[in-house]
Amino acid sequence: MNHAIRLCLAVGALCFFMLAPAAQEGAKGSLAAPNLESISVADLKGDVYFLASDEMRGRDTAKPESEIASAYIASRFRKAGAMPAGENGSYFQEVQFAYHEFTEPPVARLYDSQQAGDGPLAEFKYGQDFSSAGGRPRPVARCEVVFAGYAITDAARGWDDLGGLDLKGKTALILRYEPTGWRSGSSMRGWSRNSYLETKAALLRKAGAAAVLMVTGPASTGGIDNWVPLGSSETGSDSPPLTLADEPEQQDGLGLPFFSASVKAVDRILGEDGAIKRLQEALDKGDRKAMPDLSAKRIEFDVKTRRVLKSGRNVLAKIEGELNEWVVLGGHYDHIGLGYFGATDARTAMGKVHNGADDNASGTSAIMEIAEAFAGQRKPRRSFLFIAFTGEEKGLLGSAWYARHPVVPHEKTLAMINIDMIGRVKNRRLEMHGMASSKALAQHVRDCAPLFPELNLKFNEQPVGPVSDMWAFYQAGVPVLFPFSGYNEEMHSIKDRPETINYEGLAQATRLVAEIAWRISENPAYPDYRGTNKDAIGPDGQYRIPRPNEPKPAPKEKLPEDSEKEEEFAMPRREG
Ligand SMILES: [Zn+2]
């Protein structure tokens, strides 16, 4: 290249940077990502209608339909020209699950120490009178029963169900949800944290309870004995709660044996038909004099299980850029199957296909469309990794597995954008969560918002929480974003069907995410991280959360597999 040309180029470059703010403003003010127009309603619709079709039976994790869905996603990536990024040159990363199945039907036996003889007063059948309310059902030795109201302690409301109770080593008999009248609005979303099983479990664990037996009081569901083996992990053992196989065996789920029971079974324990209905009415009026003394009652849960291993798979594809630095675009492709767990309409629709069009066929189709838009275009500065996760509905399992077995070191990951439920843009509204995890990412979102006037972007500055697959990345020290069109009535119900999706909104949201991702890739600066992982190291080898008075972290000792990885990710590119 001769001197004169070199000089002009240098001058040109100089002018550009001199003009930087304005020119960059121009750049800031115009779309940078290539091929956004290829992101089409037709393609997105095709993917959602396939993934959320009745034949896909709600894409429950580790089920045949999940296998089909993952093969479909891989074929879409392949057709799009995105390269395999999974194990052994494939598009897949095996995820190993474990669950417990019964070796014989569990039984609960009720005893009365004041009765002659020591035979049981009553025997309760699993799936008929009681079932697991979460986590792995475990045996519980015979112990005393104590009624503990709604298991709520709420100082602000002057409410304390545990005051004066001795629950140590006993089974707490409780009411689900919270006192009638506390709920704001009609939807299930109207309950407060007091209603969360996790909140009640933590309180009762702290009080030393050996187990929990919970009933949904008639007043909480409009008077019907709403007995449906909610969350019954073994209803036909169709969709058991799963854990990751490499997780140490521990008290999973709610941290103690937690069962739900029918109104009929609880009336049996209380010794009279209609007893729990009257008790709930009294309690809701704040009348604690009616609290029953169950000190003569004993209950045992005879549960025998064995551990079973099962596997599913994440689907991974990549588009290599100039640098071995990565932007991850991910979202889960699984859903709740036939609604045996996690369904908001369990009372009426358990056993029916929960199609999961918005949750999350919408996000999965967006990831595939962005891969298609970016593939075959000019080489991006950073590389893109696209991940469709399994096991999200079972507890963010696929992303947790990926975070423990990353195909790209987290240090090399600039950012993760998790797309989950963007199919119900209503009144142009789209929420962007994760803004609090990084100022730089938040700025990209703010810069892009005006470029998509058909969307009314809501910036959510709340701390990142364990609500979807970005959580494991955030915990690993990677800044994250989470576009979300909001909670809705259809969520986790049989109403979440393909024909109810706003495809125009889905296409606009997908283009917005593509633009943001491209900008993260092209911007020379490394996005900051404002999360909880104080030891996280960034692509520049620095602590992501600066430690001004501390020396730079020692360069990570290159493990043989690292250089192999480097090799794998480096070599082809150079030749290319
Ligand atoms: Zn979801």
Bridge partners of 304?
Answer: 104
* Position 4 confidence tier, pLDDT thresholds 50, 70, 90: low
- DSSP string of 28-90? HTS--STTGGG--HHHHHHHHHHHTSGGGGGGBTTSHHHHHHHHHHHHHHHHHTPEE-SGGGS
The Cα 259–Cα 126 span in angstroms is 10
Q: What's the gap in Å between 496 CA and the centre of ligand 1?
A: 12
Query: Phi/psi at 95 (nearest 5 deg)?
Result: -115, 125
Residue with tokens 């009248």: 181
Class for the domain spanning 104-303: alpha beta
Per-residue pLDDT at 250: 55
The Cα 85–Cα 349 span in angstroms is 38
Helix (H, G, I), strand (E, B) or coil at 422: coil
Q: Give the pLDDT confidence of 189-242 residue by residue, as tens digits.
A: 567 888 888 899 999 999 999 999 999 888 886 555 555 544 444 445 678 888
CB 350 within 8 A of CB 343: yes
Note if the bond before 360 is cis, omega within 30 degrees: yes
Q: What's the gap in Å between 420 CA and the centre of ligand 1?
A: 5
Q: What's the gap in Å between 421 CA and the centre of ligand 1?
A: 6
Residue with tokens 């004066």: 164
Q: What's the gap in Å between 467 CA and the centre of ligand 1?
A: 8
Single-letter residue type at 91 = Y
Q: What's the gap in Å between 430 CA and the centre of ligand 1?
A: 15
* Position 557 confidence tier, pLDDT thresholds 50, 70, 90: low
Q: What's the gap in Å between 498 CA and the centre of ligand 1?
A: 15
Q: What's the gap in Å between 356 CA and the centre of ligand 1?
A: 8
* Position 20 confidence tier, pLDDT thresholds 50, 70, 90: very low
Q: What's the gap in Å between 366 CA and the centre of ligand 1?
A: 14
Q: What's the gap in Å between 344 CA and the centre of ligand 1?
A: 13
Q: What's the gap in Å between 399 CA and the centre of ligand 1?
A: 12
Q: What's the gap in Å between 202 CA and the centre of ligand 1?
A: 25
Q: What's the gap in Å between 331 CA and the centre of ligand 1?
A: 8
Q: What's the gap in Å between 349 CA and the centre of ligand 1?
A: 19
Q: What's the gap in Å between 545 CA and the centre of ligand 1?
A: 30
For the segment 386-403, the average pLDDT, to the nearest whole number, is 97
Q: What's the gap in Å between 151 CA and the centre of ligand 1?
A: 29
Domain range list for the chain: 39-99+314-522, 104-303
Helix (H, G, I), strand (E, B) or coil at 159: strand
The Cα 283–Cα 79 span in angstroms is 61
Q: What's the gap in Å between 507 CA and the centre of ligand 1?
A: 18
Per-residue pLDDT at 219: 84
Higher pLDDT pick, 377 / 500: 500
- What's the length of the chain? 576
Q: What's the gap in Å between 433 CA and the centre of ligand 1?
A: 14
* Position 530 confidence tier, pLDDT thresholds 50, 70, 90: very high
Helix (H, G, I), strand (E, B) or coil at 322: coil
Architecture of domain 39-99+314-522: 3-Layer(aba) Sandwich (3.40)
The answer to which of 106-110, 315-319, 521-525, 540-544 has the lowest mean pLDDT is 540-544
Q: What's the gap in Å between 539 CA and the centre of ligand 1?
A: 29
Q: Are strands 92-112 and 122-125 parallel, antiparallel or unpaired?
A: antiparallel
Q: What's the gap in Å between 466 CA and the centre of ligand 1?
A: 12
Q: What's the gap in Å between 103 CA and the centre of ligand 1?
A: 32
pLDDT over 90 percentage in the chain = 71
Which helix (H) or strand (E) covers residue 480, if one does?
strand 480-484
Helix axis angle for 41-51 and 64-80, nearest 10°, is: 160
Q: Are strands 92-112 and 297-319 parallel, antiparallel or unpaired?
A: antiparallel
**CA distances, 275 to each of 87, 230, 264, 298 (Å):** 58, 22, 9, 18
Tokens found for residue 532: 């909880």
For the segment 328-346, the average pLDDT, to the nearest whole number, is 94
For the segment 273-300, the average pLDDT, to the nearest whole number, is 93
Q: What's the gap in Å between 387 CA and the centre of ligand 1?
A: 14
Q: What's the gap in Å between 468 CA and the centre of ligand 1?
A: 7
Bridge partners of 104?
Answer: 304
Per-residue pLDDT at 450: 96
Q: What's the gap in Å between 392 CA and the centre of ligand 1?
A: 7
Q: What's the gap in Å between 88 CA and the centre of ligand 1?
A: 28
Helix (H, G, I), strand (E, B) or coil at 486: coil
Per-residue pLDDT at 336: 97
Q: What's the gap in Å between 333 CA and the centre of ligand 1?
A: 8
CB 553 within 8 A of CB 543: yes
The Cα 476–Cα 326 span in angstroms is 15
For the segment 322-337, the average pLDDT, to the nearest whole number, is 98
Q: Give the pLDDT confidence of 451-470 residue by residue, as tens digits.
A: 999 999 999 999 999 999 99
Q: What's the gap in Å between 432 CA and the centre of ligand 1?
A: 15
Tokens found for residue 458: 């809501």
Q: What's the gap in Å between 298 CA and the centre of ligand 1?
A: 41
Q: What's the gap in Å between 393 CA and the centre of ligand 1?
A: 7
Per-residue pLDDT at 252: 56
